A and B are shown apart, each in its own frame.
Chain A
Amino acid sequence: MKKSNIRFYQFIMLFLAFGSGTATMAQTADEGLSVAGQSLLKGQRLWLQTGNAAGTAHDNTRNYSRLQVNYDVQSGDFHRVYTGKTVRDANIYTEGFVNLGKAYVWGEFKFTHENVGNARFNASINDPYRGQPYFVVDSGVQSKWRNQNYHLRFRAATPVLFRSWTFGLEGTYKAQLAAKQRDPRVDARFFMLQLMPGVTYSPTYNDVIGVNLRYASVKEESNMELENYQVKPHYFELYGLGTAHRGIGTGRETNYFGNRWGFGLQYEHHMKGWKLLAELTADKYVENNEISFTTPKKDSQLEEKNLGANIQAMLWGRSLTHQVRIGFNRRAVNGIMYLSQNDNTQEKAGWKVLHQDIRSTYKTTDLSAAYTLLRPRDTEYSWRSDLSVAYQKLDDKYLLPLSVKNSENIYLRLNLERNIIVGRSMNRRLLLAVGGMWKDALRGEYRYTGANANLVTVREMEPLDQAYLTADAWGANGAITYSQLLKSQSKVNGFAQLAFDYAHTNAAMFNHRSRVNVTLGVNF
């Protein structure tokens, strides 16, 4: 191995291990970035919002770093059915970008420890909203969960090579551990590794074309168990829209494993004063679900197809900057069930798959548009306003007998921020943010016509989730952030942030959800 290669690997390892600490070395002689400054820098890196790391060279390549600790508390009954009534979350996050000259490297790492209280139903997997419909729930008794999540993402990219080409790679690694604290309890471990190599080509000075591949490998292992074997609780293996197999006792051991293949196409056009970046993405994900490791039984499979289109545009005016984002995403999932039978012949002992067919479908359509108007001031902004509107349609079906669950919602959000210069020295800033949210549920229906309609999954669990999805709501949020240089003539801006979020509904089954979080961190 060449010496230069060894140095490269050493650098990568150091970077991943210590987040962005090394970025300080390459910082220019300024006062660093305030919270608003870093937010502006990241928000205007349009290629960072795409799946193509190779586009890094076409963004602003200023170095930056952040290290923060955060404590977040959510409480209230206005939440989806599997979410805990209280969620206490302590996390540490670090992110950084460094321009090495011959390469650009960006990375982030987050560790979260989460204590969830009064969560109901989910009894088997880390994240019941990740799109996997086949998991196990209990009869709805409230339980605590102790979760730990590790998230690591990096990007490495070249500058422009051979006059027109750039190459890049993004990698993501996630590990999530979740433990339910009440029988039937579970130790669930989720892992995801994703690689996205990409390339861009600039046919003209004003145009960039990009393409990237996406591959992800997903695995989750769920081992249910009982602490008290004298009391055998009921559990329910979900098969979609409340359809369930009832069991009594320990539960099951489930092995989920899947692969995702996809690609993204990007096109950028820029002129003096404006820039437009469009992206088209498509991927297919197949996840298998097997029960037991020793005598595996193919139980179900999900086939997910995603199609997305996003356009981002920026216009830098004389005194104002405009930014527009329009997005479309469509997700279509086929829930496939296997007919497996135990083959007890001597030669082939084990489960034999006889047949599989699509028993349920899940479609999600998202449309969104966002407009940002801000007044830049040096490397930051003095104020900004963000207005966004989003439409979401969920259309889920269990095919035979036909059961449906659907909803349509419109979300409107407005946020205003004012970045006040508190003093001329030490880069002191007070960033004030206020916002509002309005959710209008246009329509929605849950209708179950399958067997065992008296199961708790049909009587209570799905109706409760549907009630949330079809609830009108409004909300308000605010944040106050103070930042300043920690030491004169340095570039290390320390900050403290207190933020709150409140959502209220008049729906009969819910009242509100509130969230408070405190963050301490440094930008450098």
Chain B
Amino acid sequence: MKNIIYGLFVAIALGTVSCTGFDEAAKSEKVTPLQVSVNLTVSVEKLASVKNLTLKLDNYTDGYHYSKKLNDTQASIDGVVPGIYTVSVSGTAYDADGAEFYVNGNAVNKALYAGVASVQITMRGLKVSPLVFKEIYFAGSKPLKGTSYFRDQFYEVYNNSAEVQYLDGVYFAQLAPNVATRKLPVWDGGLDENVCYGERVWRFPGTGTEYPLQPGESAVIAQFAANHKQEIYNPNSPVDCSHAEFEFFPFNNRLPDMPAINMEHVFYDGKSAFGKIPQFLTSVFGGAFAIFKVPAGVDWDPVKNTAFQAHEVNKKDLKAKIPLQYVLDAVECINNETYADAKRIPAAIDAGMTWVGSTYCGLGVVRKLMIENGDTLKRENGALIFQDTNNSTDDFERGVVPVLHRYHTGVPSWNKTY
């Protein structure tokens, strides 16, 4: 009898300490659709007008997508399934001087559910850039022996405008965080929404007019400007980078300095020195990259000026704060489509993200050509026009075999490697 009572006591005690789930289950109600309201603020100096605004609600995880054209800065969408959404608005704005801007704004990982169904979005403008990333190859390739070869990464910058552009002094930044993550950094002092954070920053050399890109010309920056198909490197590599215009030379003797022009190293962890790592390897899962130009007369020096430095809470390594209005173009690459809810750079500089879906697969991403009525759009001089809506999800083809100067885009006359 005593044993039975003891057993009963143990059972009741066990149950009592472990019944919190019962309360939560009892509180749960059946799901109902939401009416989501969105309030927009357009942050462009001397704003004159906006047009072609599109509101999108994307729940990448559950697969629900809603879209609506807007004529006003207030809107609502009915019938939304509760969930975690990326709410984005994009369109075109003009200032009083007639300059055209892409305006984008988003709220990433916005939870929408019963009682919480309104979103406030500030849209920021990014001037339509003459220089754009045309092709990025970050995934690396599989060698004959072993599993990974990553020295064949490259980035190609294209003059998408009708006028000559000079690369001299233009910056290239690998943005932080290095890889797509749903756990965004906690910045000491709080998140500055007017900047993106550079992990490492480079600069094109030149005094102002040494490296012109004519309309339709592009320049390739290779991690290591060698013919990677050679036996000593990786015969499986898809690329020969020996004619790349520029190279991220790591300023050490581990690899030979190739004929390509060396990029200037500007910033890494608060210093101008390259550091001890053997090469400029960006994540083979997909990094985020920006090219930007500092306005004349502005002294942007993230090494000397700590105002342009930031670090995460409880971490010491320094990042460079890059004002969004300096950015010409940015592309956010992620591991694969399942990371679409892990956006890590502001929508103002790239409203989307792109991917190849695997590592060491020898594949990259390339910007789409503008096609109208089945014809590829070209400028008067025959230069191709690439699509640039500031949304890399839409603007890039994914998982293509990388090719330098694809579509035979022009090689600058100052490239002496041929």
Decide if A167 touches B15 in the complex (CB within 8 Å): no
B82 in complex: contacting residue of A215, A246, A346, A357, CB < 8 Å? A357
B99 touches A (CB below 8 Å): no
Give the complex CA separation of A285 and B217 in angstroms: 67
Mark the stretch among A136-144, A319-327, A334-342 that contacts chain B.
A334-342
Decide if A400 touches B7 in the complex (CB within 8 Å): no
A287 touches B (CB below 8 Å): yes
A344 touches B (CB below 8 Å): yes
A92 touches B (CB below 8 Å): no
Q: Which residues of A contact B83 (CB under 8 A)?
A: 339
Decide if B357 touches A248 in the complex (CB within 8 Å): yes
Most buried by A among B14, B25, B183: B25
- Distance in Å: Cβ of A128 to nearest Cβ of chain B: 21
Most buried by B among A168, A287, A355: A355
Decide if A341 touches B30 in the complex (CB within 8 Å): no
Residue in A closest to B7 when the chains form the complex, CB atoms: A169
- Distance in Å: Cβ of A285 to nearest Cβ of chain B: 10
Given contacts A195-B7, A339-B111, A346-B186, contact A451 B15 (CB under 8 A): no
Give the complex CA separation of A158 and B26 in angstroms: 38
Residue in A closest to B33 when the chains form the complex, CB atoms: A400
Interface string of A428-466 (1 = CB under 8 A from B): 000000000000000000000011100000000000000
Contacts across chains A and B counted by CB atoms under 8 Å: 127
B62 in complex: contacting residue of A195, A245, A399, CB < 8 Å? A245
Give the complex CA separation of A345 and B190 in angstroms: 10
Decide if B62 touches A334 in the complex (CB within 8 Å): no
Residues 99-156 of B contacting A (Cβ, < 8 Å)? 109, 111, 113-114, 116, 142, 147
Decide if A358 touches B31 in the complex (CB within 8 Å): yes
Size of the chain B interface, CB-CB below 8 angstroms = 55
Interface string of A283-306 (1 = CB under 8 A from B): 010111000000000000101000
Residues 185-217 of A contacting B (Cβ, < 8 Å)? 195, 197, 213, 215, 217
Decide if B84 touches A334 in the complex (CB within 8 Å): no
B314 touches A (CB below 8 Å): yes
Decide if B15 touches A359 in the complex (CB within 8 Å): no
- Distance in Å: Cβ of B33 to nearest Cβ of chain A: 6
Given contacts A213-B11, A451-B63, contact A339 B24 (CB under 8 A): no
Decide if A346 touches B313 in the complex (CB within 8 Å): yes
Residue in B closest to A398 when the chains form the complex, CB atoms: B31
Give the complex CA separation of A264 and B11 in angstroms: 16
Size of the chain A interface, CB-CB below 8 angstroms = 48
- Distance in Å: Cβ of A156 to nearest Cβ of chain B: 8
B255 touches A (CB below 8 Å): no
B1 touches A (CB below 8 Å): yes
Decide if B111 touches A354 in the complex (CB within 8 Å): yes
Decide if A301 touches B29 in the complex (CB within 8 Å): no
Q: Which residues of A contact B33 (CB under 8 A)?
A: 400
Residue in B closest to A198 when the chains form the complex, CB atoms: B4
A377 touches B (CB below 8 Å): no
Residues 221-246 of A contacting B (Cβ, < 8 Å)? 230, 232, 243, 245-246
Give the complex CA separation of A167 and B3 in angstroms: 11
Given contacts A344-B186, A355-B82, contact A197 B8 (CB under 8 A): yes
Q: Which residues of B contact A357 (CB under 8 A)?
A: 28-31, 82, 113-114
Interface string of B7-29 (1 = CB under 8 A from A): 11011101100110110111111
Residues on A close to B: CB < 8 A?
5, 8, 158, 167-169, 195, 197, 213, 215, 217, 230, 232, 243, 245-248, 257-259, 261, 284, 286-288, 301, 303, 334, 336, 339, 341-342, 344-346, 354-359, 399-401, 450-452
Residues on B close to A: CB < 8 A?
1, 3-4, 7-8, 10-12, 14-15, 18-19, 21-22, 24-33, 59, 61-65, 81-84, 109, 111, 113-114, 116, 142, 147, 182-186, 313-314, 335-338, 357-358, 360
